[in-house]
Amino acid sequence: MQIEAGTLYIVATPIGNLGDMTHRAIEVLSGVDKVCAEDTRNSRRLLTHFGIQQTLVAIHDHNERDKLGQLTEWLKAGESLALISDAGTPLISDPGYHLVQHLRKEGVKVVPIPGASAIIAALSVAGLATDRFVFEGFLPAKTVGRKQMYQKATQQTCTQVYYESSHRIVASVRDLIDIIELDRQVVVCRELTKLFEQSFAGTATELLDWLESDSNHQKGEFVLMIQGALPTEETSGMALEPLLKLLMAELSVKQSAGLASKITGENKNACYKKAMALKEL
């Protein structure tokens, strides 16, 4: 692969299983002038495993803004850089946002090198709707904050995705039980791609029982997913047809369906089929 001068590459790395490292990621990390890493000690072990000996530069939450000038200077001088996080895709609940935002304003090219992502891996096996979902990052550390976040979840018609830590997962699910409907489906994945990977699907109460049935179920890194709320009769059903008629008086069928989906929370394809049926009347 040809490495472009003056370019920052955002490189995804494995979230557990080193076999998930892509060939393209190895090529980029081997070819750039420097690798920016969240934790240089962890990243050095990763790079050494793949025989990569590039210079490492520490970029983390505490120094990212202070490093913007130096990194921009290197890139504008023609050097190529790669940004990696401790695991997974950089900038997804990881440092890098300020750097990429700054470089875009400076006209510096930024290129993604896709790979592992815990969010996408978890959603792919959850069995929940993925046509629309929202990722909220790590849940708040305290009960009040978590309950406020979960209260928002009860109103969302799309799937919600959160990260949670091992030492808070049980308390977090207990908070969820206090807020969410009894029959709402919840899925948790832990230790994705690692030796003891597990996933569980059920109600929040069933999830708590599963977590407490074995202390090993409480270990590792968690992705918690909550089924979206079903649209109420007031925002769907009878309301959808007049809404579509109103929109279609001014917009195309496709535009009307897309906007109706956003307003009501209904599936976009369902809105489109309904709009097509109305058009043929």
The CATH number given to whatever domain includes residue 58 is 3.40.1010.10
69 and 58 inside one domain: yes
Residue 61, exposed/middle/buried by CB under 10 A (0-12, 13-18, 19+)? exposed
This prediction's pTM: 0.80
Mean of the pLDDT values across residues 183-199? Answer: 96
Give the pLDDT score at 200: 98
Q: Is residue 249 part of a domain?
A: yes
Residue 130, exposed/middle/buried by CB under 10 A (0-12, 13-18, 19+)? middle
**Where does a domain end: 206, 226, 246?**
226
Digit-coded pLDDT (tens) for 82-135: 999 999 999 999 999 999 999 999 999 999 999 999 999 999 999 999 999 999
Mean of the pLDDT values across residues 9-32? Answer: 98
Mean of the pLDDT values across residues 159-174? Answer: 97
108 and 153 inside one domain: no
Q: Which of 30-34, 71-75, 147-151, 159-163 has the lowest mean pLDDT?
A: 147-151
Give the pLDDT score at 39: 94
Mean of the pLDDT values across residues 182-200? Answer: 96
Q: Is residue 271 part of a domain?
A: yes
Residue 200, exposed/middle/buried by CB under 10 A (0-12, 13-18, 19+)? middle
Strands 133-138 and 109-113: what pairing? unpaired
Selection from 102, 115, 105 nearest residue 10 by Cα: 115
Q: Does 234 have pLDDT greater than 80?
A: no
Instruction: Provide the residue count of the chain.
Output: 281
d(C-alpha 33, C-alpha 79), whole Å:
6
Beta carbons of 190 and 217 less than 8 angstroms apart: yes
Give the pLDDT score at 108: 98
Mean of the pLDDT values across residues 22-46? Answer: 97
What pLDDT band is residue 229 in, cutting at 50, 70 and 90?
confident
Give the pLDDT score at 279: 85
Total structural domains in the chain? Answer: 3
d(C-alpha 55, C-alpha 30), whole Å:
10
Digit-coded pLDDT (tens) for 36-88: 999 999 999 999 999 999 999 999 999 999 999 999 999 999 999 999 999 99
Give the pLDDT score at 239: 66
128 and 102 inside one domain: no
102 and 140 inside one domain: no
Q: Is residue 231 part of a domain?
A: no
Give the pLDDT score at 231: 63
| CATH code of residue 218 | 3.30.950.10
Q: Mean pLDDT of all residues in the chain?
A: 93
d(C-alpha 99, C-alpha 82), whole Å:
12
Give the pLDDT score at 232: 58
Range of the domain at 43: 7-116
Element (H, E) at 84: strand 81-84
| pLDDT, greater one: 10 or 241 | 10
Please state, as a whole number, how many other Cβ atoms lie within 10 Å of the Cβ of residue 18.
11
Classified as helix, coil or strand, 76 is: helix
**Where does a domain end: 62, 86, 116?**
116
218 and 241 inside one domain: no
- Using CA atoms, how far residue 269 sits from 120, 129, 264, in Å, is 22, 13, 13
Q: Does 235 have pLDDT greater than 70?
A: no
208 and 261 inside one domain: no
Residue 84 tokens read as 């990696």
Q: Does 202 have pLDDT greater than 70?
A: yes
d(C-alpha 172, C-alpha 176), whole Å:
6
Beta carbons of 163 and 139 less than 8 angstroms apart: yes
Give the pLDDT score at 143: 95
